[in-house]
Amino acid sequence: MTGGDPTLISPAARDALQRWLEGLSALWGAAENTRSAYRGDVAEFLAFMSHHFGGPQGLGALSDITTADMRAWMASARSTGTGARSLARKLSAVKSFYSWLATREGFEPTAVLSTRAPKFQKKLPRPLDRDAAKAMIATVELQAQQDWIAARDVAVVTLLYGCGLRISEALGLTGRDAPLPQSLRIHGKGGKERLVPVLSAARQAVDRYLDLCPYPRERDQPLFRGARGGALHARMIQGAVADARRQLGLPASATPHAMRHSFATHLLEAGGDLRSIQELLGHASLSTTQAYTAVDTRHLMEVYQRAHPKA
């Protein structure tokens, strides 16, 4: 693979890529990390096609890409170690770009859009069981030497498990969100907004942290503060959870994000419906949430194997 070397991409193609990325941001609220990943994926594809055809390709040449050209790109990617999951992500970005480009330039993008993604085994979430989730919260509190930091870490992890928040969403709360209401208005990926019920345990954990925090609560400042008063970084919570995980003998999959998975799985086990869980998690697609049905089935099979007299 040639990589996304900009010298291999024609000015017209570079400009088109930039306009597409700007459109993603304006119309869909794509986050900077998402735009950066898409930029790299599509630039790599365009650079490959330039190399494949012997020089930078204008927009007219790009409209003539065939199924064989797409196969050559995918084969080249696989030969350099790109896994099936990563290649499927790259192909998705390329298809999105080409759909936009075809509309603007008036050509038929069938060869690109009909390219099938490689099959791969989707990784299922690895939730903690209820006892392990509770033990994780209790053990996180033991990792810090200062009481207020211990209370802070407990409050964050409780929000992950008790409300199903992403760690970025928990750390994105500000002083105006406290004291926590009965339900929080969360701005998630892509600017999607959702209402999340807040358990009393989560409110109490945040209240305890605020009582002990040495820094004043300011409406426009982060709710969760670092040791020196700045915004708390996710890696601090990740470190506290990793230390607790080792103490409890839990697997490496027991991460802060696993607490969010546990929230969803335990709701499903208790009879929650997928559509409601999708809304609580802020998933754009129900298919993302449906992964939890496989987790729940696996859990039921494990119980069956242990308990059934003929197992």
| Closest C-alpha among 57, 55, 46 to residue 18 | 46
89 is catalytic: no
306 is catalytic: no
Annotated catalytic residue within 52, 78, 189, 299? 189
The angle that helices 32-53 and 11-28 make with each other, rounded to 10 degrees, is 160
Residues 202, 158: contact at Cβ < 8 Å?
A: yes
Annotated catalytic residue within 98, 161, 209, 292? 292
For 195, the 3-state DSSP assignment is strand
Instruction: Report strand pairing: 193-197 vs 183-187.
Output: antiparallel
Rounded Cα distance between 215 and 277, Å, is 35
52 is catalytic: no
Annotated catalytic residue within 203, 225, 260, 266? 260
310 is catalytic: no
166 is catalytic: yes
Annotated catalytic residue within 39, 152, 166, 245? 166
| Closest C-alpha among 228, 80, 201, 89 to residue 138 | 201
260 is catalytic: yes
Q: Which residues are catalytic?
A: 166, 189, 257, 260, 283, 292
